Amino acid sequence: MLFVPLPFVVAVLLVVLLVQMIRRSDGTDRNPFFLALVSVYALQSVVIGVRWGYDVLEVLPVQAVLAVIIATLAWLSFEGLRSELPPAQRPWLLLHLLPTLAVIGLVAFWPAPVSLAIILVFAGYGIALSRLAFAGPDALGSSRLDGVISAYRALQVTAFAISSSALTDIVISWDFAASGGSHSARIVAIGNVLALLVLGSAATVAGTSRPEERDESVAEEGASPVLPSAEDTEIAAALDRLMQARELYRDVDLNLNRLARKMGLPARQVSIAVNRVKAMSVSHYVNDYRVREACRLLADTDRAVTGIMFDAGFQTKSNFNREFLRVTGMSPKAWRANALATNKSGATIIRLAG
């Protein structure tokens, strides 16, 4: 019977994710690092399968180089969600080639410290990703507000996985020193499954939206709530007027950076004002407007729910249903039926706004 290592199965699943991402990107993806990340993870899974499934030691140098590339691409992918600059215009981009070039040099001329170099690279990028995650969802200013919570959860998982990889490499080194690597195959297999989880999250960021129920981003300014200043209140009021007058929430590609530009203010200042005055993240703030508009259309028209979803500014059905449930406590179809049955749709919308 032909033996098919688990990493080969993981590689096939990653290729499926990659194909889905390419189809959904429509050639307009402004953050190609996510596509590159999934591609390299698929290749790494094949290399790991060859190494541990068939005991081919010759692929070890390739595995080491790909590991460093993965850590680098993970950072570049999520760091790119902070700014709308295209990759070619991002400062210090070429500096991120140095870890890979350094490991290639070590593999070729001085293999002894390769493992230590990989551990240091993963630890460094893990810390950087963790700091970005600590800033909260609103730090991902160029991510669509329709799916920014998914992006943030993916960032948290990736930060944990990259940081854990450094720890895993240390454990494997100890295992080789103590028992000749008798447990390393199992450790690598578990780590590869974790990689699939990370890539599933990355695929969510790049194309599929799978929002979470709650957003804990208000903790950005610390655990204790901070009272809004007069400036915060003024910014929040100006944002309310802008949202109502220009109906910006209808833009499915709306993000924090774009919103801040329309106000002529730094994105962080807008985020802090919304956090303090509204006691919610910018993504929840905008989605509240979208849900109110959806409620109005559900009550006043007989249009299909899907059409209303797009008109209100949502791009995915899963996010629409999740946010609608968060705001109203029921599904869109149930809300429409309730509004029609009670014949008090106007009063219902007023309650939502309050």
Report the distance separating Cα 271 and Cα 232, nearest Å.
Answer: 10
Please, what's the b/e burial string for 19-58 (b: 16 or more CB within 10 A of its CB; e: otherwise)? eebeeebeeeeebbbbbbbbebbbbbbbbbbbbbbeeeee
Q: Could you give all domains of the chain from N- to C-terminal order, each with its CATH number?
A: 6-206 (1.20.1070), 229-353 (1.10.10.60)
With 90 as the cut, is the pLDDT of residue 293 above it? Answer: yes
With 50 as the cut, is the pLDDT of residue 219 above it? Answer: no
Q: Per-residue DSSP letters for 43-87? A: HHHHHHHHHHHH--GGGHHHHHHHHHHHHHHHHHHHHTTS----G
With 70 as the cut, is the pLDDT of residue 351 above it? Answer: no
Q: Which two tokens stand for residue 63?
A: 């595995």
Confidence at residue 267, expressed as pLDDT on a 0 to 100 scale: 87
For 204-226, the three-class secondary structure string (H helix, E strand, C coil) is HHHCCCCCCCCCCHHHHHCCCCC
CA distances from 119 to 71, 99, 170, 172 (A): 10, 11, 7, 11
Do 290 and 323 meet the contact criterion of CB atoms below 8 Å apart?
yes
Confidence at residue 8, expressed as pLDDT on a 0 to 100 scale: 83
Share of the chain above pLDDT 70, in %: 75
CA distances from 164 to 154, 160, 167, 264 (A): 15, 6, 5, 40
Q: What is the pTM of this model?
A: 0.70
Confidence at residue 241, expressed as pLDDT on a 0 to 100 scale: 93
What amino acid occupies position 337?
Answer: A
Confidence of residue 180 (pLDDT cuts 50, 70, 90): low
Confidence at residue 344, expressed as pLDDT on a 0 to 100 scale: 52
Confidence at residue 182, expressed as pLDDT on a 0 to 100 scale: 60
Report the distance separating Cα 84 and Cα 104, nearest Å.
Answer: 31
Report the distance separating Cα 131 and Cα 99, nearest Å.
Answer: 20
